[in-house]
Structure 1
């Protein structure tokens, strides 16, 4: 969904709630959003340690990069083929140069004759596939919506504010993973829809709408809880990887950073370990999707040819649908699901799309209807709704 459309949805939702431009200005002005830096189909082998010496600083650096490529290749081959590192074939430096897409520097120390660094090596997926063997194809997951949650100072956050945990997931190069991650940027509607409270809701109705909006089929919730005993001291991190709307635990582990400066590296390591856990769960068959998250298509019966009368108004033709924006009170998730079901059951309704969800407030539902607007109002009344014209749409409610 484009940023312009998301802003328009926020405007419609806030207008329905009577909050107006103040809330919209707050959303637009907040420091939110971390776009993923790389989702290309490159394999990454991060944090390769090298410590070499040579006659000059430049020679030492060149040799360090060569050594990093050799070590990274063996680690990649072992990971893809699920074999020990010692079994990896040796490749010439020329071959490695042809399949390496780039080298990222984590940190480096350059002396007169010595080079110490932690390097990340990127391998081109297409060029290295034949050298990795058939095992590299493997199984791939369905699109997984990622909602990273970080606990710090006793309070949890997902996309409400830009966090170090969100940045770590944005830095992660997901192209080489068998998990198809859908990583929201964190701006627009993301902070409203993908908040911490949503990760704990078991109701399937809202989850189905969110997954449909973000083009995903399932959910993963990686969680980190940071514990600092005193300012400037070590940082202990408790990691948990959850899957699905019911929060199935895939793995738990702890990592420690010496101080705050080492926090990004520790979080990057946590992301990689969680990805490995999700990947292993996929291979073991434990990362299967919940069938209750699948949106069943609504069958619209074809009208007989006799129903199409020459010269009839365009709205009465089967291919000409009118679009209505409906404002409806949704105090809870079951009410939203019931409203969606009742609207789908109205004859002539081609499709419904939930543009914005506000549990405990007013949600906005877009309905495509094959027929005259007045006929649609009558159909809503027949379904038990009272209908009010709001100027830009319809407000529907059931008698209390």
Structure 2
């Protein structure tokens, strides 16, 4: 009834890869190439991002750390909110005591304190059904708080200094080659309130190659000049930590050393101890804070100064520049710039500043000496030793005599003077 048909064979020939590529249009090829490039770039960025630790943004806020609270309330949220408010009040009293050397902080409402606070950092916390236990760090905005404290918001800082943190652990040294606890501590350390202008890097891209642990052993100035110019720094600081473990999982002793410059000059050292590996991060944070204090003290006493051999540019002589301009200018239009007289001396004076009032009192006492052109505090360290830059007409011995006449004990070291108030002699019995 139906006629059978012969089977039909269909042959399909696939093009070769080269021929298939020729079949694609030019725009499709471009889109595929861009997609492959983006995928490779994303993979490379992910691999590099795991190596570096970007430093936190450090403004000029006042920071109060280690505020402990222990609060009970009807529920966990209420306890936490009450704990944060209690920490704000405690931090305000601690900040006032630190800047004024005593109690008597002005009574401020919670709303006033919240307007002055720029952030709260949780160092440690435990939440319960109706209890909140925490250790907090409170950040006060300098612009809003400085006027109430009587502290100026503009403080002279050191030249920019590149930070190369080096950690010795298990007999090997590491800096930015891989992520480590010492690098993390310097990345999260808030440097805005420090007198040292730290240049911190994330440790990604080319940083592990340029800023490795072996770099600190090089003494050649040429490579250091190129390196510092690459990161926009004037010199380098090298904080070092060496870990020693009593036994696996046991106490850890860390020796911290503050070094400075291509010659690896020693600033100071100290040791800290953690009960086990879980306390290493907190120990590193405390070590970074203490090393910063060593660098600030070295800056105040004149030990932390940029190396002149690292400066590429030659200083310009203002007298030679004035003569050169005068030779090219017409005689009737000659107007030579005013240059300091040969007898003017620039002097650094170190003086004790236990509180805010001592800063103005010290500057007023120095300005009252005959021959002093200007006197201004360039490095402020409340509760410690500040540095004042003074321009004086005459030799430094005359300035020393004037300071002694005003009741100061003066120690001379080059162009740096250290002054302290003479103690009153006890009355005869």
Scaled by the length of structure 2, the TM-score of the pair is: 0.58
Distance 1:51 1:283, change over 3 A: farther
Asked if the contact 1:250–1:277 (Cα under 8 Å) also holds between the matched residues in 2, the reply is yes
**Residue-by-residue CA offset, 1:130-150 (whole Å, 9 max, x unaligned):** 123235533211111000000
Rounded Cα–Cα distance in structure 1 between residues aligned with 2:306 and 2:104:
35
Asked if the contact 2:121–2:136 (Cα under 8 Å) also holds between the matched residues in 1, the reply is yes
Rounded Cα–Cα distance in structure 2 between residues aligned with 1:131 and 1:67:
20
Equivalent position to 1:65, from 84, 94, 97: 84
**Residue-by-residue CA offset, 1:336-365 (whole Å, 9 max, x unaligned):** xxxxxxxxxxxxxxxxxxxxxxxxxxxxxx
**Residue-by-residue CA offset, 1:287-315 (whole Å, 9 max, x unaligned):** 2212111112599xxxxxxxxxxxxxxxx
Equivalent position to 2:169, from 135, 143, 152: 152
Matches within 5 A, 1:109-188: 109-135=126-152, 137-188=154-205
Equivalent position to 2:278, from 244, 257, 261: 261
Unaligned runs of 5+ in 1: 1-24, 300-400
What value does the CA root-mean-square deviation take over the aligned residues? 2.5
- 1:272 and 2:289 aligned: yes
For 2:242, the equivalent position in structure 1 comes to 225
Post-superposition offset of 1:90? 4.4
Rounded Cα–Cα distance in structure 2 between residues aligned with 1:284 and 1:297:
26
**Residue-by-residue CA offset, 1:38-66 (whole Å, 9 max, x unaligned):** 23333332232222334443333222212
Asked if the contact 1:40–1:174 (Cα under 8 Å) also holds between the matched residues in 2, the reply is yes
- 1:290 and 2:307 aligned: yes
Post-superposition offset of 1:279? 2.2
- 1:241 and 2:258 aligned: yes
SS of the residue 1:278 aligns to? helix
Post-superposition offset of 1:248? 2.4
Following TM superposition, where does structure 1 have runs of at least 4 consecutive aligned residues deviating by more than 4 angstroms? 28-31, 87-90
Asked if the contact 2:123–2:134 (Cα under 8 Å) also holds between the matched residues in 1, the reply is yes
Matches within 5 A, 1:98-109: 98-109=115-126
For this pair of structures, how many residues does the alignment match?
Answer: 272
User: Larger Rg: 1 or 2?
Assistant: 2
Rounded Cα–Cα distance in structure 2 between residues aligned with 1:68 and 1:146:
33
SS of the residue 2:240 aligns to? strand
Post-superposition offset of 1:29? 6.2
Asked if the contact 2:258–2:268 (Cα under 8 Å) also holds between the matched residues in 1, the reply is yes
Unaligned runs of 5+ in 2: 1-43, 317-429
Asked if the contact 2:96–2:103 (Cα under 8 Å) also holds between the matched residues in 1, the reply is no
Asked if the contact 2:143–2:153 (Cα under 8 Å) also holds between the matched residues in 1, the reply is no
Distance 1:30 1:68, change over 3 A: closer
**Residue-by-residue CA offset, 1:62-102 (whole Å, 9 max, x unaligned):** 222122222323333444x3x43536544332221111111
Rounded Cα–Cα distance in structure 1 between residues aligned with 2:134 and 2:115:
23
Asked if the contact 1:152–1:225 (Cα under 8 Å) also holds between the matched residues in 2, the reply is yes
For 2:217, the equivalent position in structure 1 comes to 200
Asked if the contact 1:75–1:85 (Cα under 8 Å) also holds between the matched residues in 2, the reply is no
Distance 1:298 1:116, change over 3 A: closer
SS of the residue 1:184 aligns to? coil
Rounded Cα–Cα distance in structure 1 between residues aligned with 2:265 and 2:283:
24
Post-superposition offset of 1:209? 1.3
Matches within 5 A, 1:39-58: 39-58=58-77
**Residue-by-residue CA offset, 1:313-333 (whole Å, 9 max, x unaligned):** xxxxxxxxxxxxxxxxxxxxx
Post-superposition offset of 1:106? 1.6
Equivalent position to 2:103, from 79, 86, 89: 86
SS of the residue 2:192 aligns to? helix
